[in-house]
Structure 1
């Protein structure tokens, strides 16, 4: 462990973070940021998140204020793996109609765009 007495004040927070990671690793826990990929589709976007070996009942997916957060856990032998990643969604994504599927360790989100109001002609009275 690094001696925090010799670090400038700006680095104390970083050292606390490193110490907490070391403590988690000593307890057999590891936290990962899963790989993700996104691409545009005909009606919006697709987002794919890699979560190998994670079952759907071990996932927590939430959307709040256009932030999509994926949390998942997986246990193997004496180790516990935690995955967490957040994504900022564009304002034109219909967050009420997000479709999610899990296949072969890939969590896929279909993010459709909100229906745009059709243009209409306005007459002068």
Structure 2
């Protein structure tokens, strides 16, 4: 398959074969699996315990604060890896070091604020 349209035809052929493979896998799975639905099989599974009550449960707000703080510091930690690669490059040493101290200062300020507000106290 040469030329401009040949490459598109090749991509289309690969997509067609992939779609056919997925369709054959799903149809084969449906034909080969046993299907005997019972009341127990259709019940919601909750770690081996029979479900009791309604599915609505309230969660204390402090757990959301823990999750929020984790996401903030985990995402901020991602920025440390590119900084480490740029810090090694010639000519960027002092500038990137100052920028990282400013960045870590913001993180420390946020952590100090959370600590002073009592968010980090596990009760």
Same structural fold, with TM-score higher than 0.5 when normalized by the shorter chain: no
Q: Which has the higher helix share?
A: 2
TM bucket, shorter chain:
under 0.3
Question: Structure 1-normalised TM-score?
Answer: 0.21
